[in-house]
Amino acid sequence: MKLFQRILSNLSFFIIVMLLFLLFFQNKVSLPPALQSVGRMHPLLLHLPIGLLVISFILWLGRGSIEVNSFQNIFILVLQVTVFTATLTALMGFFLSREGGYEESILLKHKVLGIATAVLCYILLVIYKANPGRKILFGTVFTLSLAVMIAGSHFGSNLTHGEGFVFQPLQKEEEMKEETITDSSTLFTAAIRPILKSKCFSCHNERKAKGELIMTSEEKILAGGKNGPIWIPGDAIKSHIIQNINLPEEDKKHMPPKGKPQLSQQEIDLLFAWIQEGADMKKMLSEYTDADTLKILASKFIQLPKEQQEKVYPFAAAPPATVQKLSGPFCAVFPISQNSPALQADFFVREKFDRKKLEGLLKIKEQLVVLNLNNMPVEDGDMKTINQFSNLEKLILNNSLITNNGLSEIRDLKNLRSLSLAGTKVDKNVAPAFSALDSLKEVFIWNTMISHTDAAELQKQGRKIVFNTGYIPDENEILTLTPPIVKNDEFVLSGNEKIELKNQIPGVVIRYTTDGTEPDSTTSPVYDGPFTANGFTLIKARSVKPGWYSSPVSSFAFFKKGIRPTNAELINEPNEKYKGEGVESLIDAKKGLAENFGDAAWLGFREKPFGAFFYFDTVKTISSISISYNKNIPSYLMPPAEIEVWAGDDKNKMKLLKKLTPLQPTKDESNAVQIDGININIEPSFYKWYKIVAKNVSRLPSWHPGKGDKAWIFIDEIFFN
């Protein structure tokens, strides 16, 4: 035991000397990565010396109740361990401080007090071992040690959690008063800032500015950090905050860091939409229409005062289990406000619209007051279902397929106050449908066949209804066209199904390419009707029209469904976080979304390459194989570096049919996010077994933010044709 104590004592003295040396020459210290990792153990260890010092003090106060020799042996051992853990904690803290990102004045106080605590603990040990009877001197140093430790801990909490962390709960009432939200509040204050506050402020404040970024005020957010502004208004994909949020959680640049509370998908969607629409920090809630997608997304996070909350409804709440069952990845069902029985249903992703989900909402037809079918392929026949939601107050049908005939089917919606029809085929003859809706107050009809003149006439007929026709451009103003969209419900084509493009604006010409090049406005092929595609086809299209600026280019990846294997087997298991539905994800013809590589369609590989066997119990002629993958360069998702196709009638005896090296993105594509694919043509073959291996990029290129790291491969489908 004495040898153990002597070793601890010598180690402690050595570390104290090292700490004092490092403190005086800290500006010349450069740490290797290994010591940086050691420094990050500081928060793990720091509670030991704190607890041991307090225990030592309690033991010393109660020394009279313990036999003298026994007390001295126990007390010296506890003091010895306290000294060692205090010096080791201070050393780790010094290593951690060299990473930067902390407020220097607070950091220096915490650092000096931490080292002082370690030195005082060592002096305590020396005094007691030299003369246990010097109670006044020992008690004075002991009290000083505790005081210094408490002061150092206070400054440490300020560094980690922000100034005033300890007393923050006592200031809650005052803080809530400052954050009161009204219609005059900006959307940033009401919805965006609370997200940043809960997920970002702890690392990016005046006392702890990781990456030299402070986010506690609008001015400091706009100033950015060492990597520049955190967002680019109107370009969410290129914005640092979105890129870092979407990185894999284990990536060192992922934000918030692993282990911290992460943003929910709804929070990410709101941030993305807000930045994409210009990141306006001054626009008030009252300036957004109720049908505005951004306001709809933000409404889930806005806490209005009680006097501004929704009205009291007479019906009972739906069973929580029913609401939970109806809500899913592409249809969200939720209360319109806290403790309200009234519900809202939002549908997402046109290609994933399921009519049975809409019919399923009849289980909550009494509670449903808001139905958002924006950009869904809703048809006239669906309006009979919608007509059964008797308490519906707001209905959003923008860019749907409904016509005048469909709107005549919702005559029983006597509580409907707001109706959005932008981008639909309704015309001025829809007026009788409006007159049948007694409570209707506002109708949004921009980008329809109802002209401004027609709208004025409708306004005369229905004075109680406000008809919103949208923005009226100056005749001399040149506007930018919207990009083309596809009419197909799915991006996996069956049989002889053809690809259809469209643009809602009359007189627009669509120019497109299928070879991966950017379409221009003069020489690229003109879309003149639906066309077929074999295997994988990447379509790039833009809208052009005289007197208008050409639209941005839109990209669409189509695949031919082909022959489904009887079964499949994975050679290597995907990453635990991105394992989708297992091997079934590869052959179920269900496509994933480029922006959401965490959904069940995708299989993600990084540690090991992708590899899978595919078996056909009946021999079919196979002449091409298509691989659908996710290209999300900011999030390290790259095309395969190498692909091999093997085949044979015996799983264990296969021959190599094809080996290829796909082209990799260049720096110009550094922000690309899209579904992409590879079409592999092979000699017509008649085998029962096929094996496909896709190796990921082992080192990301020098222009990539993660240069040198290993890339991911995300695959959702393999098609055989």
159 or 460: which carries more pLDDT confidence? 460
* pLDDT for residue 596 is more than 50: yes
Nearest C-alpha neighbor of 631 from the set 680, 587, 592, 681: 592
pLDDT of 175 reads: 43
Mean pLDDT calculated for residue range 325-343: 86
308, 324, 348, 386, 678 from 333: Cα distances, Å: 22, 8, 12, 15, 38
445 or 386: which carries more pLDDT confidence? 386
Nearest C-alpha neighbor of 397 from the set 428, 375, 413: 375
Q: How far apart are CA 114 and CA 91, in angstroms?
A: 9
pLDDT of 308 reads: 46
Q: How far apart are CA 365 and CA 343, in angstroms?
A: 9
β-pairing, 368-372 vs 394-396, is parallel
pLDDT of 15 reads: 86
Strand ranges inside 312-401, DSSP E: 331-335, 343-347, 368-372, 394-396
Q: Which token pair is 317?
A: 């709440």
Q: Could you tell me the pLDDT band of residue 173, with boundaries at 50, 70 and 90?
A: very low
Question: 220 — phi, psi (to 5°)?
Answer: -75, -30
Residue 670 DSSP SS3: coil
* pLDDT for residue 528 is more than 80: yes
pLDDT of 337 reads: 75
280 or 100: which carries more pLDDT confidence? 280
Q: How far apart are CA 14 and CA 218, in angstroms?
A: 47
* pLDDT for residue 519 is more than 90: yes
Strand ranges inside 587-720, DSSP E: 603-605, 610-615, 622-632, 642-650, 653-660, 673-685, 689-695, 713-720
Q: What is the pTM of this model?
A: 0.46
Question: 596 — phi, psi (to 5°)?
Answer: -125, 75
* pLDDT for residue 462 is more than 80: no
* pLDDT for residue 157 is more than 80: no
| CB contact burial 322-336 (16+ within 10 A = b; e otherwise) | ebeebbeebbbbebb
**Residues 348-407: pLDDT tens digits?**
888 889 999 999 999 999 999 999 999 999 999 999 999 999 999 999 999 999 999 999
β-pairing, 343-347 vs 331-335, is antiparallel
pLDDT of 163 reads: 57
Least confident of 237-241, 307-311, 432-436, 556-560: 307-311
Neighbours of 453 (CB within 10 A): 9
pLDDT of 1 reads: 63
Strand ranges inside 127-227, DSSP E: none
Q: How far apart are CA 119 and CA 141, in angstroms?
A: 11
Burial label for 284, CB within 10 Å (0-12, 13-18, 19+), is middle
pLDDT of 651 reads: 92
* pLDDT for residue 696 is more than 90: yes
Nearest C-alpha neighbor of 300 from the set 358, 370, 392: 370
User: Most distant CA pair in the chain: distance in Å?
Assistant: 103
Q: How far apart are CA 82 and CA 124, in angstroms?
A: 10
Least confident of 26-30, 52-56, 82-86: 26-30
Q: Could you tell me the pLDDT band of residue 169, with boundaries at 50, 70 and 90?
A: low
In the block, which residue shows the tokens 């005094």? Answer: 127
pLDDT of 371 reads: 95
Mean pLDDT calculated for residue range 191-207: 83
pLDDT of 307 reads: 44
Nearest C-alpha neighbor of 292 from the set 394, 435, 193: 394
**Residues 256-278: pLDDT tens digits?**
887 677 888 888 888 988 988 88
Mean pLDDT calculated for residue range 102-128: 83
Mean pLDDT calculated for residue range 20-43: 73
* pLDDT for residue 177 is more than 80: no
Give the Cα-Cα-Cα angle 675, 680, 684 (nearest 5 degrees): 145
Question: What dihedral angle (degrees, nearest 10) is formed by the CA atoms of 334, 337, 338, 339?
Answer: -80
Mean pLDDT calculated for residue range 428-441: 86
Q: In what order do the strands lie in the sheet with 567-570?
A: 567-570, 610-615, 689-695, 642-650, 653-660
Do 464 and 438 form a contact (C-beta atoms < 8 A)? no
- Reported as type and span, the H/E element at residue 468 is strand 466-468
Mean pLDDT calculated for residue range 41-64: 83
Mean pLDDT calculated for residue range 694-699: 94
Do 490 and 474 form a contact (C-beta atoms < 8 A)? no
**Residues 597-635: pLDDT tens digits?**
777 889 999 999 999 999 999 988 999 999 999 998 888
Strand ranges inside 537-670, DSSP E: 537-544, 554-560, 567-570, 603-605, 610-615, 622-632, 642-650, 653-660
Nearest C-alpha neighbor of 359 from the set 348, 350, 347, 349: 347
Do 556 and 510 form a contact (C-beta atoms < 8 A)? no
The pLDDT > 70 percentage for the chain reads 91
pLDDT of 622 reads: 94
Q: How far apart are CA 314 and CA 333, in angstroms?
A: 20
Least confident of 10-19, 109-118, 180-189: 180-189
Q: How far apart are CA 248 and CA 335, in angstroms?
A: 31
Do 366 and 384 form a contact (C-beta atoms < 8 A)? no
The DSSP secondary structure of 306-325, one letter per residue, reads GGGSPPPPSSPPPPHHHHHH
The pLDDT > 90 percentage for the chain reads 32
